[in-house]
Structures are given as structure tokens and as C-alpha cells.
Amino acid sequence: MIDTEPHAGPRELTVALVQTDPGPDKAATVARAFEFVERAARAGAQLVTLPETFHYRGPNDGRRASAEPIPGPLSESLSRLAAKLGIHLLAGSYNELPGAGEEDQRTHNTSLLFGPDGALLGKYRKIHLFDVTIGEKLVARESARNQPGDRAVVAQTAFGAVGMTVCYDLRFPELYRALALAGARLLTVPSNFAERTGRDHWEVLLRARAIENGAFVIAPATIGNGGTDFNAYGRSMIVDPWGTVVACAPDAEGITLATLDLSRVDAVRASLPSLQHLRPTAYAVKQF
């Protein structure tokens, strides 16, 4: 469905971006992230967002050891934290163990969204995996350890429908268009974005996804390297439906707050109704 009706829920939403530098000590890294979540809630955030791999970043042999089933200890702790603080909590992403009977035993890179009562509102497994070689300094093979998800996810919340994505998904506009057409008014992009590409592409892509879909884009990100040779760009960001950057984190760990005027989605989609002007039957390419 295309969401063309004015939103009946709250008109404002205070969002916190949590920017962290995850390390190889999972317990310490998770504890640090939880401290930031509590600080954000005390500062008035109603939706607190964590970045991709907020639980662990380090050598590859530790990634499997850091993985958990869902539900599992970490998901239950996140649920309790959301309920204790009375917030919506986006658990950016972490490594999810596959079921015992699954043929493919690679982990999933999974994002969770919890409601203020601790209920799980959305579970999204990253669809697009970061397999790239850029020069000699950036070689990544996410598919060597993770298997891709196979479905897009829109979660229903009191403040509107949320389309869930993770990091490298940002380069695939088809996914975001599908989420917007399914009713998403906010798009989440928790990320561990490479510094090498982030300095040129991060803001451009976030603003493009917001403009194309007339939606808020909320992108909490990691910074630093967690003791690895992968440097994360940081610059956690929120972009409004017009493409204006309304919040950007400094180059350090911490929380960044912004209060969003949710009526901007209605206003922008009314003035630029591109979602209603799609002509998919005309997009078949003819060869001459």
C-alpha cells in the first residue's frame, strides 16, 4: 500500500542515535551500549537506535563466538531494557545463530525493534551482504560468515510504520522503495560503514533514500575500528523527508538527539507525490 493518509499517531518523536566503537570484548561492549541507551532515555528519547554490530567488533574467529539465537540472552536483555525505560529500542544488528536444523550454518546479520513494553515489533535479517574490493585497503567478504536474509520487513509502531534495513542495503534503492510502498514512514539504517567509502557516499545515499521515498531516514553508526584493520566512518545521521540533515553525530562515541516533526512525511508526500506517479509497467527495457 502507498501511505497517502495523514498519520493519526503522535506528531513528534524524539530519537537518539547511539554511536559506538565496538570492541572484541562482547560483555564490555554490550554494557557500554546499554549505558548509552539509558543515557538517551534519561535525556528524553522515545526511540533509541543502536548501530550495526553494536555487540562485537574484532577478529573473524570471534564473530561466531559472539553469535546467539533469537530469542536468546541478548534479545531478552534488550527486551527488558526497552520495557524498563519505556522506550522503543532499535537493536542495530548482531550475529544471529541459525537453527540447528538449517543446512546453511552461517550466521545472519539481524536487526531487532522492541516496543516500550518489551515486545518484539520487528526482526530483519540483512539482505545485501558487503562483498567488495576497493583498491588494496578495503577487501570485505561478509558472505564468508553471514547468509543473506530473504525478505523485507516493515514494523508497526505507535509513531508509524518503520522500514528496517542494515548498512550495505543503503546502496539498493529498490528495497527502500518497496518499504515505502508498504507504508514505511521511517527507514532505519544501522551501520558499520567503511571510512573509505563513507566520506564520499554516506550522506549522499542517506539523503537520496529520504528524498526518493518522502520518509525520515535514521542511521546510527559505529566509529573507530575495534582493534581491527577496518575503520568505520561514524557520522550517525537523521535525514528528513525533504533530504535535509536534521542531526549528525560528531566524530566520537556518544548520543545525538533530535525531535522529529512526523507531519513532514505527510507534507512532503503531498507536495511531491512521486510514490503515486510510479509506472512499473513502463519500466520493461526494450532492446533496439
Separation between Cα atoms, residue 47 and residue 247, nearest integer Å: 14
The pairing of beta strand 160-164 with beta strand 153-157: antiparallel
Query: What residues have CB less than 8 Å from 151, skipping those under 6 apart?
Result: 125, 127
Closest CA to 230 of 265, 180, 191, 204: 191
Hey, which residues are catalytic here? 52, 126, 167
Separation between Cα atoms, residue 162 and residue 160, nearest integer Å: 6
